Structure 1
């Protein structure tokens, strides 16, 4: 049985067939500039300033992913969370002040409000709200687009795995939208190691090793909380 996004993707493919869509896995340009990421791709719990980097409540998984993605691309985001003033200090751990956890939680709530202007906040953030927020508030991350996934189609799953891995190979994180019949939860693929994806899961604040073969088997639940991949946000 197809998911909601799987049905939408199947229709999308039928409508677009023959239009000469770009080949899956086209090269993705790496971003230039300094890096001062909030997350690492080290397996296990992610912490900073004495705080777990988890989502602040049940509706802010997308917001946690957006803040982490913004911080990956823009050192000023991390400087704000660290409580720094003036110039950004050198080094990933410099300037981390007391109160990081409160700033991390407040920033998620702010991003949630900004990314759900046209969407009920109780439902979390739509994937189009995610890409709009990145475009308007995190230009350093580069534009992203929504790519729906039909995980009942082996061909579509194979294509999206190639597309995600092309982005990861260029150092570009990829937000993942997972769920049951309907989409429910955001995570973010950070990198690829030994055939698995290192994925940040914001409920647990952990980075986990996810075998992309689990997508076709519809068996992501033990690692990401839900079995089905509904969509990915791909860098343009």
Structure 2
């Protein structure tokens, strides 16, 4: 995972509601669980499969809930370990750095959560490397921007300015 510098293309989400499933599939691959199901060479199919599996009761048109993300990782990406859902408080965001595994992060507007991204284990310079599925690329983000009230800078990198929830390892 350390060899994924900013700019690395990992794969784009196939539509406006598969950011969460894209994050799930990439998490499964990066943690050694492999591709989910029998769609190892088709990222779009893997996203759709993960979306169906994660949203058993929740309408897929509304994206993927944090609890659906957590349950999917438990069932389909055992090498990732167990996660717990936490509000994206300053303390929870500080825990991302020490996680040592990819960490799904839900961002959105000031009113609504809207988009899943994946924080990769940090680089040596203190910036987060973040897989942003809308572009399909890894981006570099200074996590201090969240606390500094820099919504335009965060939006340029992640698509949305405010962190809402984070899935942290349950160790």
Q: Same fold (TM over 0.5)?
A: yes
Distance in 1, matches of 2:21 and 2:56, equals 13
**Hey, what does 1:176 align to over in structure 2?**
105
Q: CA deviation at 1:192?
A: 1.5
Relative to 1, partners in 2 of residues 1:218 and 1:232: Cα closer, same or farther, differing over 3 Å? farther
**Hey, what does 2:62 align to over in structure 1?**
123
1:139-197: CA deviations, max 9, x gaps?
A: 22111111112xxxxxx42x123211110xx3x11111000011000001112120110
The structure 2 residue matched to 1:107, chosen from 46, 50, 59, is 46
Distance in 1, matches of 2:81 and 2:167, equals 12
1:165 correspondence with 2:97: yes
**Hey, what does 1:199 align to over in structure 2?**
130
Moved over 4 A (4+): 78-82
Aligned-partner SS, 1:77: coil
Which of the two has higher C-alpha Rg? Answer: 1
Gaps of 5+ in 2: none
RMSD of equivalent CA atoms:
2.0
Q: Is the 8 A contact 2:33 2:78 kept in 1?
A: no
**Hey, what does 1:46 align to over in structure 2?**
9
Aligned-partner SS, 2:166: strand
1:222 correspondence with 2:156: yes
Q: Is the 8 A contact 1:218 1:228 kept in 2?
A: no
Relative to 1, partners in 2 of residues 1:207 and 1:66: Cα closer, same or farther, differing over 3 Å? same
Distance in 2, matches of 1:218 and 1:178, equals 14
1:192-233: CA deviations, max 9, x gaps?
A: 120110000000011111011111215221100001000111
- Count how many residue pairs are aligned between Structure 1 and Structure 2: 165
Q: Is the 8 A contact 2:20 2:117 kept in 1?
A: yes
Q: Is the 8 A contact 1:45 1:204 kept in 2?
A: no
Aligned-partner SS, 1:44: coil
TM-score by length of 1: 0.65
The structure 1 residue matched to 2:118, chosen from 188, 209, 216, is 188
Distance in 1, matches of 2:33 and 2:82, equals 18
The structure 1 residue matched to 2:26, chosen from 46, 68, 86, is 68
Relative to 1, partners in 2 of residues 1:209 and 1:133: Cα closer, same or farther, differing over 3 Å? same
Relative to 1, partners in 2 of residues 1:79 and 1:113: Cα closer, same or farther, differing over 3 Å? closer
TM-score by length of 2: 0.89
